[in-house]
Amino acid sequence: MSSTSEKVVLRLALPKGHMQKAVEALLADAGIAVTRGGRSYRPRLSLPGVEVKLLKPQNIVKMVHAGSRDVGFAGADWVAELDARVESLLDTGLDPVKLVAAAPEALVNAGWPPPGSLVVASEYERLTKKWIADRELDARFVRSFGATEVFPPEDADCIVDNSATGGTLEANKLLVVDELMASSTQLLAHPAALDDPVKREMIERLVLVLGAVLEARTRVMVEVNVSAERLEAVIAVLPCMREPTVGMLHGNSGYAVKAAVPRVDLPRVIPEVKAAGGTDIVVTRLAQIVT
């Protein structure tokens, strides 16, 4: 990178709260260390020229939108809620949730939507009001500040909230009546940061190494030995990114074949490779994949 880049500071926001652990693990797997000193909200990153601040995801979206942070990690739900002018550079797939509308079991079982006016509680004012209008509901919005699921039945007839597993809704005897959107952690950027050539290069490098980790998490390396006469049969059932790597075994006794295989295909691939004549099958984890 040019000497000019040493004078440029990339202002990165990391999420504080439930997203923090997963994002920091992603950075660590990319070889980027996060070190906390006395100022816990301003950790250090093992990347030159990057200034870091810990913020709540909602505030990250606001700050990236305003341009006081160049890049940051936050959920797509808050980007939609705040109607933020930001660029989504990478969907990490981390902390996946669904933004849902939910109501008490008794109310839903009696017929949804119920007659009369409803009270709908949520932290998501814009998205909730849009949902009410789109569904043509006779409803009044009430703003919540966390723990939205405790509002029904006394203080609200319905809520709009994010849900990862549905466990919290179930514990509070709430049933999902509609799904507004799916969300996961995104790497966001302010458009002006991408217009700066030096910052853009720094951002693209960050996207590259993080994307490499995410791709590696979806695949494993499968290595298998096979005789010459069974080589093509094994290759035929072994999925790979382009072509498998094939090398000669010692003494010309056969071939060693390697391929980065989608992890979800393993239950099918391993028996098929074995049946095709593969032996000595080894499966290993991958750290990064750059295509």
pLDDT of 153-197, one tens digit each?
Answer: 999 999 999 999 999 999 999 999 999 999 999 999 999 999 999
Instruction: Please provide the CATH number assigned to the domain covering 3-94+185-216.
Output: 3.40.190.10
**Burial level of 284, CB count in 10 A (0-12/13-18/19+)?**
exposed
265 DSSP assignment: G
Tens-digit pLDDT profile for residues 91-135: 999 999 999 999 999 999 999 988 889 999 999 999 999 999 999
Sequence-distant (≥ 6) Cβ neighbours of residue 21 within 8 angstroms = none
**In this prediction, what percent of the chain has a pLDDT beyond 70?**
97
pLDDT reading at 6 higher than 70 = no
In the chain, domain spans: 3-94+185-216, 97-183, 219-285
Within 13 A of 59's CA, how many CA atoms are on the CB side? 10
Reported confidence tier of residue 146, pLDDT bands at 50, 70, 90: confident
pLDDT reading at 240 higher than 50 = yes
Section 11-33 average pLDDT: 95
pLDDT reading at 252 higher than 70 = yes
C-alpha–C-alpha distance, residues 150 and 98, integer Å: 18
Domain 97-183 superfamily per CATH: Periplasmic binding protein-like II (3.40.190.10)
* Predicted pLDDT of residue 251: 87
pLDDT reading at 230 higher than 70 = yes
In the predicted model, what is the mean pLDDT of the chain?
A: 93
* Predicted pLDDT of residue 234: 96
Beta-bridge partner residues of 181: 99
C-alpha–C-alpha distance, residues 61 and 86, integer Å: 8
Helices 197-217, 20-29: crossing angle, 10 deg rounding: 90
pLDDT reading at 2 higher than 60 = no
* Predicted pLDDT of residue 40: 79
* Predicted pLDDT of residue 241: 86
Section 215-227 average pLDDT: 96
Stated pTM of the model:
0.88
Q: Secondary structure of 221-261 in the HEC alphabet?
A: EEEEEECHHHHHHHHHHCCCCCCCEEEECHHHCCEEEEEEE
Q: Residue 215 is encoded by which pair of tokens?
A: 């791709």
Topology agreement, domain 97-183 and domain 219-285? no
Give the CA angle between residues 217, 220, 221 to the nearest 5°.
Answer: 140
* Predicted pLDDT of residue 66: 96
For tokens 């035929």, what's the residue? 236
Tell me which of 269 and 38 has the higher pLDDT: 269
pLDDT reading at 1 higher than 80 = no
pLDDT reading at 24 higher than 70 = yes
Tens-digit pLDDT profile for residues 51-89: 999 999 999 999 999 999 999 999 999 999 999 999 999
Architecture of the domain whose range is 219-285: 2-Layer Sandwich (3.30)
pLDDT reading at 207 higher than 70 = yes
C-alpha–C-alpha distance, residues 109 and 103, integer Å: 10
C-alpha–C-alpha distance, residues 146 and 115, integer Å: 28
8 DSSP assignment: -
